[in-house]
A and B are shown apart, each in its own frame.
Chain A
Amino acid sequence: DAKTTQPPSMDCAEGRAANLPCNHSTISGNEYVYWYRQIHSQGPQYIIHGLKNNETNEMASLIITEDRKSSTLILPHATLRDTAVYYCIVTGAAGNKLTFGGGTRVLVKP
């Protein structure tokens, strides 16, 4: 699976959009981009995934660049409950084991 690079931490203001970047320059054509988050002392929670098209669900939007070498997770209106570690993961098969990197520790401030 391709390696991902994320900033270690970022702050954002409550009510504003949070844009979380992820680089995956070695991604191959059949690999998906998955996003999970982990709130303190809980298991990871699935957020969204995509292959090459932009995706949106009730939690977030995923923007994947045309060359697929990077992506951005957008939380449209961050709340205090969105404070968590966000993981960007690239994997080749649906339901396959996931390899977690360091993630981005997001702190939403009032």
Chain B
Amino acid sequence: GAVVSQHPSWVICKSGTSVKIECRSLDFQATTMFWYRQFPKQSLMLMATSNEGSKATYEQGVEKDKFLINHASLTLSTLTVTSAHPEDSSFYICSASFNSPLHFGNGTRLTVT
């Protein structure tokens, strides 16, 4: 079946630094990928839609200058959390689809100290 890989699976960084998370579709090409965020004991919240070769579309309330998304190829999208702060600590999950259904990566747990 379709496989979506995320890297790293966890990361700890200091406040004020930037962190890049990679999302790869391993056995299919994905023109569209989605980035979600999940806080403890809450559901997944869509952050943005990443389109290959064009600018990402951000959900209301998500700062595009803080969460930089690059979808440079049909198999790779990256999310960079810039100038991270402790409140950015969360579980970040990407997803991609080829036809149907949407498949998810295993998430990246970000802890900002």
A interface residues, Cβ below 8 angstroms from B: 34, 36, 38, 41-46, 49, 87, 94-103
Contacts and interface: CB of A to CB of B under 8 A. Distances in A.
Contacts of A101: 43
Q: Taking each of B44, B97, B107, which has the highest tally of chain A beta carbons within 10 Å of its own beta carbon?
A: B44
Interface residues of B, number: 25
Determine the main DSSP class of B at the interface with A. Answer: strand
B107 A43 contact: yes
A46 B103 contact: yes
A31 to B, nearest CB: 13
Q: Taking each of A97, A102, A103, which has the highest tally of chain B beta carbons within 10 Å of its own beta carbon?
A: A97
B58 interface: no
Nearest to A34: B101
Interface of B: 4, 6, 32, 34, 36, 43-46, 49, 91, 93, 95, 97-107, 109
A43 B101 contact: no
A92 to B, nearest CB: 12
